Structure 1
Amino acid sequence: MVVLNRSIPEPPTAVLLHGILGSRKNWGSFVRRLALEFPTWQFVLVDLRCHGDSASIKKRGPHTVASTALDVLKLIAQLRITPRVLIGHSFGGKVVLSMVEQAAKPLPRPVRAWVLDATPGKVRAGQDGEDHPRKLISFLRKLPKEVSSKRDIVNALIQEGFSKDVAQWVVTNLRPTGAASSSSSSFSWVFDLEGISEMYESYEETNLWKVVENLPRGVHVNFLKAERSLHRWALEDLQRIHAAEESAADEGGGVEMHVLEDAGHWVHADNPDGLFRILSFSFKGVKA
């Protein structure tokens, strides 16, 4: 989805990216709120490769963080926009860092990059009894490509040990098949699980600390840690980010750490008001 504001010659633009097994719709209500509060901005919501509407575009592998970032860079070049803000959740956060790496030059205008509940390096996703993306992808790959009931899928996921919230979120990736007037209802998945599995492997293996510790001039990276997402963050991660804060300031870039209270990993669902307050300063006082 592209929310472009053509009433202003070159309005400031924000690009928002979802995580693994998500879609641009994850950001829909949050971005509508941003657009109301900051009407001079335009917002681009992207379905990453193998996800949502982009799953129908058959992309050649490898399906990696880097190739996904290149997709988005090509998209914004096609749209002839220069984003002032990049926001990525989880996998999308690493994609944002990879975009910064691939641009790899001093930028004509300052860019704020937001990495939401993801670290640049090691992925610590899920502990015993928690929803682990790898297990979720593996389970989904065993399901038929066409199903007759969303409720049955939710129940199957819960029975397998996944949380109700995650089960209900996953079935948002099911769309009705056949004509709308048809009396028989069935649903098919909108994602490419084979490609997504490869993307998740890349997410775990990709290390982008060198980007954070050697930022191009004009780039400001903001990390946001969800208060209840304890297992995703190690003391080593926090220490390296704080060290990068000091070195980036000396080089004309910037690194900051934020904590979103009363939120787990799904930050824009758990505490949208708090997230809105934290992100808002990136949109204030920016002129076209």
Structure 2
Amino acid sequence: MAAPPPRALAAEPRRAPLSVGLAPPRHGARSAASRSRQEIVYSRGRLVSTNFNSRSSACPPCRCTQVAFADTKISYQPDADKHAGVLAYELVQGKLVQWNSFMDKSIPDPPTAVLLHGILGSGKNWGSFAKRLAQEFPMWQFLLVDLRCHGDSASIKKRGPHTVASTALDVLKLIGQLRLSPRVLVGHSFGGKVALSMVEQAAKPLPRPVRVWVLDATPGKVRAGLDGEDHPAELIEFLRRMPRQVNSKQEVVDALVKAKFSLDVARWVATNLRRSSPVGLRSSSSFSWIFDLNGISEMYKSYEDTNLWGIVDDVPRGVHINFLKAERSLHRWALEDLQRIHTAEELAADEAGGVEMHLLEDAGHWVHADNPDGLFRILSSTFRVETSIRGVQD
């Protein structure tokens, strides 16, 4: 439940590309003046950076001027209807990412990693972790996506069916719209299957290598939790039966705990509530969900039914798939899953691809919350390898 050079990974012609060089979203613009930190809020996406360049520009087509000051958050947001995008997102950039790479193609595109959340999550789940990665690897940028029906993307109407494949295609289209060139795909739980589906839907062979991380998820059968553990499908259905508006977040927490869901999960779910009445009217305030629970229910069913073992058994040339198993998440991993992945490791090595298994100790399913230091150490190896292979100038 619930993270290649230009033209690195291209989707089939009828689909959006998973890479084409980096350029600005058509609804956004380059950054404006900055001292030590810059942050731009697009209508459907936000750009966070620690860049020292000083720039000024306007946002077409509304021509709104955007200015950033040290440690100041820009809250301006153009009319969303005029700038409706594929998905909501946040782009976190390291301080060595050069702003003018958005326009000046003589400057190499910065290496990009895409981070995908799990069911009932949002891109914000990766916020702190992405900023930590950006500090350690300052020439990288990290795209945090709100998947369909989740977070700020819930207000962007999507046609069904709501499946793993359609969710992956959304991300492919977003990457094409932003004209990014991802070298790394990181997906937690449901997001892990989305990352695999992105590779499956992309054109083969891939022009450039891509490293995929599937965090605490298997390519096939989803195994329910044991007694005393939270069951995502049951949690989603319980939330669907709750009122669409509640008086407080604590009301939701109490209801979930009473229904035998864990306190940690109850508190986490409550973070997906947003105040739905004017802030000034505190006495009559209410909260509503920021996600589409009906769509999410459909997505989770697809997560249970989707089988992506084929992409693991026959890894495309240039793709390296890493599986990470959480030590305390034993119920999600059967012996047959582990054996099949280890077999794929040997076969992929012979075919110039890559499959690798990792273990994250002292962590349950919520890997980036349970053991962020351990996860950081494991994932860092990918960014160090990619950086050393290509160098700062690619």
Same fold (TM over 0.5): yes
Q: Superposition pairs for residues 1-288 of structure 1, below 5 Å? A: 1-4=90-93, 5-7=97-99, 9=107, 10-183=109-282, 184-285=284-385, 286=387, 287=390, 288=394
Alignment deviations for residues 212-247 of structure 1 (CA, whole Å, 9 cap, x no partner): 111111000000000000000000000000000011
Structure 2 residue runs of 5 or longer lacking an equivalent are 1-89, 102-106
Following TM superposition, by how much is the alpha carbon of 1:128 offset from its aligned partner in structure 2, in angstroms? 1.9
Following TM superposition, by how much is the alpha carbon of 1:277 offset from its aligned partner in structure 2, in angstroms? 0.1
Within 1, Cα distance between the matches of 2:170 and 2:346?
32
Within 1, Cα distance between the matches of 2:327 and 2:246?
36
Alignment deviations for residues 143-198 of structure 1 (CA, whole Å, 9 cap, x no partner): 11111011111011001000000000000100111222222221110000000000
Within 2, Cα distance between the matches of 1:249 and 1:106?
17
Alignment deviations for residues 253-279 of structure 1 (CA, whole Å, 9 cap, x no partner): 100000000000000000000000000
Within 2, Cα distance between the matches of 1:122 and 1:198?
16
Amino acid in the other structure paired with 1:56: S
CA RMSD of aligned residues (A): 1.0
Amino acid in the other structure paired with 1:17: L
TM-score (norm 1): 0.98
Kept in 2, the 8 Å contact 1:104–1:216? The answer is no
Within 2, Cα distance between the matches of 1:117 and 1:6?
34
Runs of 4+ in 1 over 6 A off after TM superposition: none
Bigger share in helix: 1
Structure with more relative contact order (C-alpha pairs < 8 Å, separation 6 or more): 1
Secondary structure in 2 aligned to 1:180? coil
Secondary structure in 1 aligned to 2:271? helix
Alignment deviations for residues 72-102 of structure 1 (CA, whole Å, 9 cap, x no partner): 0000011111100000000000000000100
Kept in 2, the 8 Å contact 1:106–1:216? The answer is yes
Kept in 2, the 8 Å contact 1:117–1:224? The answer is yes
TM-score (norm 2): 0.72
Secondary structure in 1 aligned to 2:324? strand
Following TM superposition, by how much is the alpha carbon of 1:125 offset from its aligned partner in structure 2, in angstroms? 2.9
Q: How many residues align?
A: 288
Identity of aligned residues (%): 76
Structure 1 residue runs of 5 or longer lacking an equivalent are none
Kept in 1, the 8 Å contact 2:92–2:131? The answer is no
Amino acid in the other structure paired with 2:352: G
Kept in 2, the 8 Å contact 1:88–1:114? The answer is yes
